[in-house]
Amino acid sequence: MSTIREVGKRAGVSVATVSRVLNNKGYVHEDTRKAVTLAIKELDYKPNSVARSLSKKTSKTIGFLIPDITNPFFPQLVRAVEDVMYPAGYTTMLFNSDENLLHELEYIEGMTSKYIDGFIIASNTLQWEHLKGLHVPVVALDRAMDERISSVTIDNYEGSKKAIKYMIDRGCRQIAHIEGPPHVFTSMERKRAYLDSMNDHKLPVLLQQGQYEIEQGMVSTMKILSEHPEVDGIFAGNDVMAIGALKAASKLGIKVPEELSVMGFDGVKWGTLVTPELTTMQQPIYYMGQRAAELLLDRIQNVHSKVEHHQLHAELKVRQSVR
């Protein structure tokens, strides 16, 4: 690896000049520029990012915190973020936190000492208090965090209400809800919508705790159906649990959608692979990641950019699991 110094020597100029041509900054005579460019080519010189970072206090890197890449919702998000960040010259560091606050704080601290340029946070445990000390922009993804932190979310409440309304329209009268994990933003919103809907329509409430995982969807459904055979519809907290519900129904010999309707939320790809295909609320997952990345980029590059909150919408995807 050659250094800027060697390039300078070879081109017969000082490091300052080389730096100037490297960064297109300040005046430099056309001839010298050519000489320097040539020397760079000849030596196959590549600027050292670390040295550059130390000097500029920036790393062209962003951190992306997610709960768990193994949950099928996140790969698309990750892909989207990388797809906008990389062409913009930024590399993104992924971190699976399992919603563990300590790990997240540790990670953020580590990244800070690397002069990271910003964060996208799609996990739910971090709050404004933990982040306010940071001197870099943050955008919350798939959750609202605080007025002062940019966010990209979908309207989970509205989406859930639509989903449930559809179930009711299709004749469901005993709708149970499998909740997502307790302190997760999307989970709370969806539950709230369920409760309000049941209340509005004077329908009975039947809640079952879940975990955004297939097994939980199965277990919860088993429990619901054995204890409340009258249930004719399940509004699952997300697609993964809905798929678990389908699985459970099939194991119990209960026909979906004839005897039981199942509604998911998310619109992950796998929803079309199960039988029957999952009726669900489709989120613009990739687009959410894209927007979050663009927002962050703007906050990083444009001093005047301000906090923004983007609220997107989920769309009913009628397939086969609701009668």
Partner DNA sequence: TTGTAGGCGTTATCAT
Partner DNA sequence: ATGATAACGCCTACAA
Task: Report what 26 binds from a copy of itself, DNA, none; CB cut-off 5-8 Å by kind.
Answer: DNA
Decide if 66 contacts 122 (C-beta within 8 A): yes
Decide if 51 contacts 109 (C-beta within 8 A): no
Task: Report what 247 binds from a copy of itself, DNA, none; CB cut-off 5-8 Å by kind.
Answer: a copy of itself
**For the CA atoms of the chain, what is the radius of gyration?**
26
DSSP codes joined into one string, 32-75: HHHHHHHHHHHHT----HHHHHHHHT--SEEEEEES-TTSTTHH
What is the b/e burial string over 201-239, where b = at least 16 CB atoms within 10 angstroms of the residue's CB? Answer: eebeebebebbbbbebbbbbbbebbeeeeebbbbbbbbb
Find, among 109, 106, 115, 10, the residue nearest to 54 by Cα. 115
* Backbone angles phi and psi of 142, in degrees to 5: 70, 20
CB-nearer residue toward DNA: 19 or 221: 19
DSSP run (H or E) holding 216: helix 214-227
What binding mask, one character per residue, do residues 75-114 give for a copy of itself by CB under 8 A, x or -?
Answer: xx-xx--x---x----xxxxxx------------xx-xxx
**Shortest gap between Cβ of 306 and a copy of itself (angstroms)?**
25
Among 6, 68, 146, 315, binds a copy of itself (CB under 8 A): 68
Composition of the chain by helix, strand, coil, percent to 5? 45, 15, 40
CB-nearer residue toward a copy of itself: 206 or 293: 293
**Shortest gap between Cβ of 242 and a copy of itself (angstroms)?**
11
Which residues contribute to the site for DNA (CB under 7 A)?
1, 3-5, 12-17, 19-20, 22-23, 25-29, 31-33, 45-48, 51-52, 54-57
115 binding a copy of itself? (CB under 8 A): yes
**Shortest gap between Cβ of 194 and a copy of itself (angstroms)?**
24
* Backbone angles phi and psi of 250, in degrees to 5: -60, -40
What binding mask, one character per residue, do residues 213-242 give for a copy of itself by CB under 8 A, x or -?
Answer: -x----------------------------
The CA distances from residue 92 to 115, 121, 270, in Å, are: 13, 12, 26
Task: Report what 94 binds from DNA, a copy of itself, none; CB cut-off 5-8 Å by kind.
Answer: a copy of itself
Task: Report what 38 binds from DNA, a copy of itself, none; CB cut-off 5-8 Å by kind.
Answer: none
CB-nearer residue toward DNA: 56 or 201: 56
Task: Report what 110 binds from DNA, a copy of itself, none; CB cut-off 5-8 Å by kind.
Answer: a copy of itself
50 binding a copy of itself? (CB under 8 A): yes
Which residues are within 8 A (CB) of 217 and not within 5 positions of it... i.e. 6 or more apart?
Answer: 178, 210, 236, 240, 241, 242, 243, 244, 245, 247, 248
How far apart (Å, rounded) are the C-alpha atoms in residues 106 and 309? 27
Task: Report what 16 binds from a copy of itself, DNA, none; CB cut-off 5-8 Å by kind.
Answer: DNA
CB-nearer residue toward DNA: 48 or 311: 48
Task: Report what 243 binds from DNA, a copy of itself, none; CB cut-off 5-8 Å by kind.
Answer: a copy of itself
Among 250, 259, 305, 313, binds a copy of itself (CB under 8 A): 250
